[in-house]
Amino acid sequence: MKRFAALLETLVLTPSRNAKIQAMARYFQTTPDPDRGFALAAITRDLTLSNLKAGALRQLAMERVDPDLFLMSYDYVGDLAETISLIWPHPAEGHGGEHLPGVADFIAGIESRPKSDVAAHLATLLDSASPSERWAMIKLATGGLRVGVSARLAKTALAAYGGQDLAEIEKIWHGLAAPYTGLFAWLDGRAAAPHIQPGRIFHPMMLSNPIDESRDFDRLVASDYQAEWKWDGIRVQLVFDGESRRIFSRTGDDISAAFPDLAVALDGHAVLDGELLVGHDFRPLAFNSLQQRLNRKIPAKTHLRDLPAFVRVYDMLFDGDEDLRDLPLISRRQRLEGWMRRHEGNRLDLSEILSFENWTDLARLRIQGTEIHGYEGLMIKDRQSLYVAGRPKGPWFKWKRDSRMIDTIMMYAQRGHGRRSSFYSDFTFGIWRGNEIVPVGKAYSGFTDDELRELDKWVRNNTTNRFGPVLEVEKRLVVELAFDSAHDSPRHKSGIALRFPRISRIRWDKAAGEADTIETVRALVE
C-alpha cells in the first residue's frame, strides 16, 4: 500500500505527462502481481468495489473527530477521501504503515467482509496509515480515483514499460480484466500477447476534431472527403454475435440495460459505430427526450413505448470476426451498406452521405441543416482514413452549428471539486420573465483561471443568502452564455434548458436590466 500511495501522490503532484508515464512504468516494474494489476484497474477507473458507501465513511469520520469540525472541513475541501485522510487522528509515534496490506489484499479485505464490519476494518487500517496512505485506501474502497491520468495515458505507460506499440495494447484492452496477469506476462516477455476475440469486445472509438474554418478548408481537397449530418444523440458502439448483444458508450460503459428495446433487435455478428437516438420511424426527437432514458438504468414502460431507441449507423469495425479497421473508410462504407441490406431491421438506420461539389456547397448544406432542420452540424471524413482509436489530427472533422449566445444574470454559486474545491466555480444563471429572474441553466466552464478568481471574489463579496453549500448572490452580474441549443424542460422554473452551456464572457459592463428575456430564449427552443 505504501508503494501505491507514493505512486498516486506522484501522479497528483506531477504536471509533466512524461514524468507521469515514467512513474507508472517504474511502479509496474517494481510491484508484483496481482497488486500492480489492481492498481492499474484503479487508475483507469475499471475497478468497482461495492461494500463501502460514502455515508458509512462520513459516519465513521464523525465518530473519530468533532462532527461540526468534519462537516466544515468537508465543505471547504470538497472531497470526502481527502477530508478524512487529513482530519483523521494521527497514529501514535512509531506506528506507521509498514504493516498495511498490499493493494490486492486490501481489496479482498474490503469485499470479503459483511457490510456491517467493513467500516470498523477500514478504521483499523486508517489508524496505522499516513495521510497519503489513508487517501489511497479510501479512494480504492470508494472509487472515483482521479489523479490526472487518463486510461490512455496509463496504457501509454504500459507500452513504455513493456516496449510494445500502444495500438497493440488498445486492440486487446477491452478483452482483459483485472489483475491483468496475462497482460503483464506479455509485457514482461514471459508469454505471448493475450488471445481475445476482437469481434466480440468494445474497441476504443475514433474521434474527430473541430474544423478551423479560417485554415482547414484552404488545405483540404473537397473531393477527398465525404460528409454526413451530425446528430444530437450519444455515440455508441454495438457489439453483437447472436448470443451476446451489448451497447457501449464512447467511454466503454455497457449501457445495454438502459436500452433493451435496441439490444434485442440486433441481429447477426458485427461491431458497428453510430449515434443512438430516440424517436419513431427513424425521426429523432430532441436530446432532452433521449436524456429521459439516459437518466435511468432500467427504462419505464412508457419510455419504451413513447421514446423507442434506434441507432443511425455510420461505420463498421468488424464484419463477423473480420477486422475492417485497417481498410479505408470508403471500403468500410461499402461493407456496411452490404451488411445493412442483409440485416434489415427496425432499429438500425444507415447514415446518409451528402452530395456536394466544393466547400461552398457544403457550407450551404450546413446552414440549411442547422437553421432549418435543427441538425447539430456536419461530420467531414477523409474517404481513405483508417479507423484509428483516439483523436488523430486530419482524417475526421466536426463542423458544428454556430453557438447561440444569451446574456444571463448570475443567481447562485457553489464550490467546485478537485483543484477548484476552494473556489466558487459552479454557477446558476437566470433570465428575465416579466419582473422576476428565473433559472435557465448552470455553467462551470469557459473561463480562465484569472476569471475564476475574479468570479470567486465577486461571489464572496456579493452573497445575500446561504442554502447549505449554495450561495445566493446579488442579481446584478451579467454573464454571456454560449450554448448549442435550447429545449423545453420542466427542470428549470423558466421551462427551458440549455444544451452544453458555458461561459463566453463576463459582462462587467452590462446592467442586469440588459439581460435577455424568456421571450428571446423561447424563440430559440427547438
What pLDDT is recorded for position 94?
47
Indicate which residues carry an active-site annotation. Answer: 230
Grid cell 427552443 in the structure block, residue: 525
* Sign of the alpha-carbon torsion through 218, 223, 224, 227: positive
pTM to 2 decimal places: 0.69
- Which whole-number Å values give the CA distances from 387 to 6, 26, 231, 320, 324, in the listed order? 38, 32, 20, 17, 8
Q: Across the 526 residues of the chain, what is the mean pLDDT of every consecutive 10-residue run? A: 93 88 96 96 88 87 90 79 88 59 94 89 91 92 80 92 91 90 96 88 90 91 96 93 89 88 93 96 87 82 94 96 95 97 89 96 92 86 94 90 85 81 87 90 87 90 85 91 82 80 85 87 79
For residue 474, the number of C-alpha atoms closer than 13 Å in the C-beta half-sphere is 10
pLDDT of amino acid 33: 96
Q: Which residues contact 98 (CB under 8 A, 6 or more apart)?
A: 2
Query: What pLDDT shows up at residue 186?
Result: 97
Q: Which domains does the chain have, with CATH numbers?
A: 2-142 (1.10.3260.10), 209-400 (3.30.470.30), 404-522 (2.40.50.140)
The confidence score (pLDDT) of residue 273 equals 98
The CA distance from 12 to 208, in Å, is 29
CA neighbours closer than 13 Å in the CB half-sphere of residue 492? 24
User: Which pLDDT belongs to residue 418?
Assistant: 65
**Residue 443 in contact with residue 429, Cβ under 8 Å?**
yes
Q: What whole-number distance in Å separates Cα of residue 20 and Cα of residue 15?
A: 8
| Helix H or strand E segment including 480 | strand 478-483
Q: What is the pLDDT of residue 34?
A: 97
